[in-house]
Structure 1
Amino acid sequence: MAAAAVLLVAPAAVACGDDSGGGGDSDPPKPSAEKSTQEAPSDSEAPSDDATAPADPAAAEKQVKENWEKFFDPAVSLKEKETVLENGAKMRGVLKSFSGDERGKQVSADVGKVEFTSATEADVTYALMLKGATALPTASGTAVNEDDTWKVSVKTLCALVKLSGNESPGPGC
């Protein structure tokens, strides 16, 4: 089942690329590698509340979960998915490919945990479902706050695309 989930993003991989100039990695990334690299403050450095979490963490967590599940919902339109993906308009080609694939129409996500690493970023642990069956039970990604909306990060989508084995993702990744 995990292989089927990985294969579902293969068509999207054709439309996704690394505009950072990197692209020489031989090993595909692991979904759990998408955790934030931001260091946690030490006990002696008491951060202000807004440095480690949004002003209203409960409302932000609710929006992260809703938008994450909306992004992976096969019934949601491409236009609506763009609104819950970081740089959604720039990622339209990847979304079109991902949403147009038969397997992509059978995928959903169930968010298990949201941990805020800053006021504008969160680590998300989720289960990726294929036809209602769990394909990746503990996938990890990140959500970002862009224009006052919590969205699925581009690096999360790109990690899933790269996980499919495509060595040369297209623009946006």
Structure 2
Amino acid sequence: MDLFRYPRAALGVAVAALLLAGCSDNSPSKSPPSTSSSGTATTVPATSAPAGGAPADQAAAKQQIEKNWAVFFDPATSTEDKVKVLENGSTLRPLLALFSGDKNASQAKAKVTAVQFTSATSADVTYNLLVGNATALPDSKGTSVLQDQTWKVSVKSLCALVALSGNAAAPGC
């Protein structure tokens, strides 16, 4: 199927893939996670955030956001590792489990293209959702939040994708 010729079908595939990919928590954090060679998220000490509109070490925060979005939207990442990089991830475990068997999710990945800090503990994220080698949702908008010393994919971002799928009864959204 040509994803660009059938945008509604592509959107459905993309949303299903994103839902399978992961969740994030929404609380302040001081240490950014990194990704190990196996793709799992780990926590790396971060500098404290200033009182202003961005973290003290913006480069490290941006790097952590990019890594955690990649981990969350990587079909090879376990549900447990996705829980770690999703805002309130343990609460949303049932949502992740619900979609873990979807075949479309095994083809989806996200690539962060821009990060704009809106405060020391939140950032707007622009990303492309890929299904296979095709960009299904270019220039998509989401948010990251600093929670438990980790920059995470926000619940708001996940639930926006759930809403696009038409699944209003998704647990946690």
Do they superpose with TM above 0.5?
yes
From the superposition, tell whether residues 72 and 10 of structure 1 become closer, same or farther in structure 2 (CA, over 3 Å): closer
| Cα distance in 2 for residues equivalent to 1:131 and 1:95 | 20
Report sequence identity in percent.
Answer: 54
Write out per-residue CA displacement over residues 125-163 of structure 1, whole angstroms, 9 at most, x where no aligned residue.
Answer: 000000121001110000000001000000100000100
Structure 2 counterpart of 1:107, one-letter code: A
Distance 2:150 2:9 in 1: 31
Q: Greater relative contact order (Cα 8 A, min sep 6): structure 1 or 2?
A: 1
Highest CA radius of gyration, 1 or 2? 1
Are 1:7 and 2:8 an aligned pair? no
1:21-40 superposed matches below 5 A? none
CA distance in 1, matches of 2:73, 2:106: 9
The normalised TM-score by structure 1 is 0.74
Q: Please tell me whether residue 147 in structure 1 is matched to residue 148 in structure 2.
A: yes
The alpha-carbon distance between structure 1 residues 63 and 89, as it changes in their structure 2 partners (threshold 3 A), is same
Give the Cα–Cα distance (whole angstroms) in 2 for the partners of residues 64 and 50 of structure 1: 20
**Stretches (4+) displaced over 6 A:** none
Query: Residues 157 and 118 of structure 1: is their aligned pair in 2 closer, same or farther, counting only changes over 3 Å?
Result: same
Matched, 1:136 2:141: no
1:5 shift after superposition: 4.2
Give the number of the structure whose residues are more often strand, by fraction: 2
Q: Is the 8 A contact 2:16 2:105 kept in 1?
A: no
Q: Which runs of 5+ in 1 are unaligned?
A: 14-47
8 Å CA contact 1:123–1:143 kept in 2: the answer is yes
**Higher mean displacement: 130-139 or 2-11:** 2-11
Report the TM-score, using the length of structure 2 for normalisation: 0.74
Tell me, yes or no, if the aligned pair for 1:10 and 1:165 is still in contact at 8 Å.
no
Structure 2 counterpart of 1:68:
69
Question: How far 1:64 sits from its partner (Å)?
Answer: 0.2
CA distance in 2, matches of 1:157, 1:62: 20
CA distance in 2, matches of 1:82, 1:92: 7
Counterpart AA for 1:133:
A
Separation in 2, partners of 1:171, 1:93: 7
Task: Specify the SS of the correspondent of 1:169.
Answer: coil
For 1:4 and 1:105, how far apart are their aligned partners in 2? 16
Paired position in structure 2 for 1:169: 169
Q: Give 1:172 deviation, angstroms.
A: 1.3
Unaligned runs of 5+ in 2: 21-48
